[in-house]
Structures are given as C-alpha cells and as structure tokens.
Amino acid sequence: MTFQVTPLNAIGADVAGFDIREPLDGDQQRELRDLWYRYGLLRFRGQDITPERQIAFSRIFGPLKMHPLKVQTSAEYPELFVLESGTDNDRHMLAYYDGKAVVGRLDWHMDLHYTGRPNHGAVLTAVEVPGEDGLTGFGDLAKAWDALDEATRAQLAKLEVAYCFSMQRRHMRYVNLKGYEPGPAMAKKPADLGYPDFADAVYPAVIKHPVSGCQVLQIVEQFLDRVITPQKFGLSNDESIELLERLVAHTRRPEFHYFHEWQPGDMVLWDNWRLMHCATGTPPGVRRVIHRTTIKGDRVLGRTLD
Ligand SMILES: [Fe+2]
C-alpha cells in the first residue's frame, strides 16, 4: 500500500504518503477506514486543503452531518463547521483561568455526546493557526478502559452514567474549577446562544464500539453528572461520586493523550465513538480558524431521559 503509517507517541498515528489532491481507489479508501478504526486518530501533514477536498475526504468515512447548532456553519458549505476565534465573538468564549484570559478553552468531551447519539467522527483542518496556542487534545477511552484494573472493570460493566448539558462551566460537576472565573459575556443558558435545551443522556459506563468492537470507557468530564441509581449496585451516593472522580482522574493521564499543535496544511481525523477531545484555547484577539467536517453518528449509544 501507498501510505506510511507511524504511530504517534501515546495514541493515534501519522499518515504520510497521502495527498488530498489525488483521487483514492476503493482499496485505499478501505485502508484509511481500517487505520481510522485501528488507531482512533489519524494525522496528515502538509496537505493542500480546500473545503471541497476536505468534504470529499471526510465522506470516505461515512455520510456527513450538518451540525444541529446552525450558529457556526459556513453559508457556502453547510458541511463545514467553522471554529473561529480572534473576532468580536471572542467575548462570548472568554473565561479566566488563574487570572489569565483565555478564549475557546474546552474541557474533555465527545461531540454531541449530550444527545445520546454522538457523531461518529470528524475531520479538523488548519485554516489559520495561532502559533504555540490553540492546541486540540485527544484522549483514547479504549486505551483508558484497557488500563483499568479488573475489579473496576467488573464494577463498571453494571453501571450507567448520566450527562447533563449545561452552558455554564461552573455548573459542571467533574471539570476542574480551581482558579476558574467565567467571562462577563458567557452564555447563561442554552437559549442565549440559540441552542435548544437537551434532556439528560444516559450511557453504560463501558460501551462496545459499534464497528471495531473495542471496549470504550464512557467517562468524559464535560457534562458528567452522576451514576444512575448507585444504591442498586451496592454503592452509596458518596462512593459513586468518588468513583467518578477517580475515573475522571484516570482519563486525564497523559499516556492516553495526544495534543495537536496546529501547523498550516494539517488535517486530523478522529473516531468520536472512541476518543474524547479538548481545546486549550487562545489569548483574546489571537486569530485561529479551524474547519470541521462531521461524520454522522448513525447509532444511538446512549438513551435520553425525556
Ligand atoms: Fe468538540
């Protein structure tokens, strides 16, 4: 085959010998899909990316989804979700961490996890890169599951966890709130940004990946709220909270992570049914533009408490 695949330090792989301008035959497309499932994350560098090429590349991995939050989609290409900072809009994404102003920082999450039907995956491409800031982090929850001890795995096999969508970071129960202050223009409720409100979503604490069959720990800190009826499984409420704290700390271990520092020509594809991701953010006024295309989640992995 034509691609040179090099595993990255902890998770994911770099793919060289790939040129987004060249058409791919069926075998090459199949190989890319296999690599995607094997590594969870593929990194491509030095690509001559256009919206049309990104959209065509993304379709190799499944039908694309238009984001339900119409606020940030591109008018010309409805498949493209534009992540932009360094504009007047910064004030809505501005918060303080230990007194430092940061725009667009995001905790570990999976896209659309709060709906019970997360996206299958996504492709990010660099349009304008901000130097050393604005990293995107990825965390492999299949590796995190594999690294758990037997007793914890046996316990988790019986449990379900609930996620509560919230606009306010300080209402999230398992993110690190130390030194955090919201900015003055942060949204207070979903309707402030034209978002719908979402019912709680409930997931088994471990999920079998619908395609690859690998076991994926379903613990992501953003919106994580509680274990469902812990007493039924021999856990007091306090013990269930301590369990979630321990699991969130486990997912934060660097051996499950890759932090992508953006360069022009970069493209990253990840499996959103397996990897969580986060954003480190940028100082106010720093330009950063990333284009995202989204591979539709055609399976319901969680249930909603409507
Ligand atoms: Fe995201």
pLDDT tens sequence for the chain (306 residues): 589 999 999 999 999 999 999 999 999 999 999 999 999 999 999 999 999 999 999 999 999 987 655 555 667 888 999 999 999 989 999 999 999 999 999 999 999 999 999 999 999 999 999 888 999 999 999 999 999 999 999 999 999 999 999 999 999 999 999 999 999 999 899 998 888 889 999 999 999 999 999 999 999 999 999 999 999 999 999 999 999 999 999 999 999 999 999 999 999 999 999 999 999 999 999 999 999 999 999 999 999 998
CA of 62 to the centre of ligand 1 (A): 18
Q: Cα(30) to centroid of ligand 1, in Å?
A: 26
Residue 18 domain flag: yes
Q: What is the pTM of this model?
A: 0.96
What distance in angstroms lies between residue 289's CA and the mean position of ligand 1's atoms?
A: 14
Cα–ligand 1 centroid distance for 47 (angstroms):
22
CA of 90 to the centre of ligand 1 (A): 17
CA of 212 to the centre of ligand 1 (A): 22
Examine residue 9 and state whether it is found in any structural domain, yes or no: yes
Q: 131 lies in a domain?
A: yes
Cα 106 to averaged position of ligand 1 atoms, centre (Å): 8
The CATH number covering residue 44 comes to: 3.60.130.10
DSSP code at position 282: B
Residues whose CB falls within 8 Å of the CB of residue 173, separated by 6 or more in sequence, listed in order: 224, 225, 226
Ligand 1 centre to CA of 146 (Å) is 24
φ and ψ of 273, to 5 deg: -85, -5
Span from the CA of 279 to the centroid of ligand 1 (angstroms): 8
CB burial of 240-260 (b: ≥16 within 10 Å; e: otherwise) equals: bbebbeebbebbeeeebbbeb
Query: Looking at the domain assignment, is residue 115 inside a domain?
Result: yes
Give the residue numbers spanning the domain of 35: 4-297
> Count of alpha carbons within 13 Å of 291, Cβ hemisphere only?
24
303 falls within a domain: no
Element (H, E) at 288: strand 288-295
Closest C-alpha to 280, from 87, 100, 122: 100
Q: Find the 277 Cα to ligand 1 centroid distance in Å.
A: 6
Does the residue 124 lie in any domain?
Answer: yes
Contact 284, 96 (CB under 8 A): no
Helix, strand, coil percentages in the chain from 3-state DSSP, rounded to 5: 25, 30, 45
Within-domain flag for 189: yes
Q: How far is the CA of 136 from the centre of ligand 1 (A)?
A: 9
Structurally, the chain folds into a number of domains equal to 1
Asked if residue 21 belongs to a domain, the reply is: yes
